[in-house]
Homo-oligomer: A and B are copies of this chain.
Amino acid sequence: MSLSHALLTALAEKSGSGLDLARRFDKSIGHFWQASHQQIYRELARLEETGLIHAKAQPGARGGKRVYQLLPAGQDELRNWVPQADQIAPTRDAMMVRLRAEATLGPTGLAPALHRRLAGHRTTLAEYRAIQARDFPKPPPSRQQALQGLVLEAGIRHEEGWIELLKDALKLLESDP
């Protein structure tokens, strides 16, 4: 399980409350590791129990806000975890199943779903490109920026790949309905 390590990574970048982290997961980190706020709160509680992170209650802040920060033990744990190998996570996408079902069942009216999906990937791609233009000048000023830029670049290529695939699929379906 790596939600814990995704959280440690996020806290290594910047301290924050559970909701802060949930929001950051929605934006940057969540593009490759998603988590609901319920998961995040549960995992933060666990990490604090284990002594890897620590929460300071903020007296001035809203709600019962608890701002977590990474402890040295947490950084050690993260440092240990990073170079470990995990098995390759296979893609798992229902659209592939749908395409394959369409292939054997014959026309099933899949095209509109492909169009919606295409629009979604185009939106995400535009977001990524905006982030890239705003936050990642090239050449990158630092090793850190270069690596973070690379991760973003991977996201961009992923979206581009999907867009190409969907366009090809639509061409096929619409030429021969």
Write the residues of chain A forming the contact surface with B, with a CB cutoff of 8 angstroms.
Answer: 2, 5-6, 8-9, 12-13, 29-34, 75, 78-79, 81-86, 88-106, 108-110, 112-113, 116-117, 120-121, 124, 143-144, 146-148, 150-151, 153-155, 157-158, 161, 164-165, 168-169, 172, 176
Contact = CB atoms under 8 A, between A and B. Distances in A.
A151 B112 CA distance: 18
B161 A165 contact: no
Contact of A82 (B33, B82, B90, B105): B105
Contacts of A153: 165, 168
14 contacts: A8-B101, A32-B92, A33-B92, A33-B93, A33-B94, A82-B101, A83-B109, A83-B112, A88-B120, A91-B91, A103-B143, A103-B148, A150-B165, A158-B161
Contacts of A81: 98, 101
Contact of A113 (B8, B84, B90, B117): B84
Nearest to A103: B147
Contacts of A86: 94-95
B110 A88 contact: no
Given A32-B91, A33-B96, A120-B88, A165 B154 contact: yes
B13 A85 contact: no
Contact of A147 (B12, B90, B102): B102
A88 B29 CA distance: 16
A29 to B, nearest CB: 7
